[in-house]
Amino acid sequence: MKILIIYGTTEGQTRKVAEYLKKDFEKHAHEVTLADANDTPPSPEGFDAVIIGASMHMERYQEPVLYYIREHHSALNKVTSAFYSVSLTAASDDAQTWHELRYITDRFIGAGQWKPDLLEFVAGALRYTKYDFMKKFIMRQIARRAHHTLAENSADCEYTDWEALSRFAARMERIAASVPVIVDKEETDYDAIC
């Protein structure tokens, strides 16, 4: 199977997730193309599955990712596709925080007129050692809101569940293997899929 993974990243964790997924798919003999949304990623045409990832910062995802989705939404809706969202919010156990994350993500995907088959929320990382004073302060506030016990720590901390990502890849593989070659998801009930 030919898989395209496109990502938008701010601090590098979304790229790290994309690279992990690439290796996971390659272990199962799939051909994977990895592309940064800031470059000129290839069109979804010719791929059996497309995965797009972006990280959420201050309630926004990367603009180049949205631009790609808007430009290629028709092709994306005809191929097996998934979106993964990377954020500290995904590490939270607070219901209200999760409600906000889902709302922001649904709004982002809807703005691109895309209906992915699969949606995955991935806990991100805190890179305190790479932040300036102001960003460190803001990230500690976000960490406190998400109930992270290491919010007061100055060490880096990664919350990503790599085993959950492997399960996400396996689900994506199963969906791609069971979907006919051309499926127009623009006529599909998105709420029933996710």
70 within some domain: yes
- CATH assignment of the domain containing 77: 3.40.50.360
Res 19 pLDDT > 90? yes
Res 165 pLDDT > 60? yes
Structural domain span for residue 179 = 2-124+160-185
Shared domain check, 79 and 142: no
For the chain, percent of residues with pLDDT exceeding 90: 62
Shared domain check, 150 and 73: no
Shared domain check, 164 and 111: yes
Burial code (b: 16+ CB inside 10 Å, e: under 16) for 107-140 equals ebbeebebbbbbbbbbbbbbbbeebeeeebeebb
Separation of alpha carbons 186 and 73, rounded Å: 9
| Number of structural domains in the chain | 2
190 within some domain: no
Three-state DSSP class for residue 22: helix
148 within some domain: yes
59 within some domain: yes
191 within some domain: no
CB neighbours of residue 154 within 10 Å:
11
193 within some domain: no
pLDDT in tens, 62-88: 999 999 999 999 999 999 999 999 998
Question: What pLDDT sits at residue 183?
Answer: 45
pLDDT in tens, 126-162: 776 776 677 667 666 666 665 555 455 566 778 899 9
Confidence of residue 120 (pLDDT cuts 50, 70, 90): very high
pTM for this one? Answer: 0.83
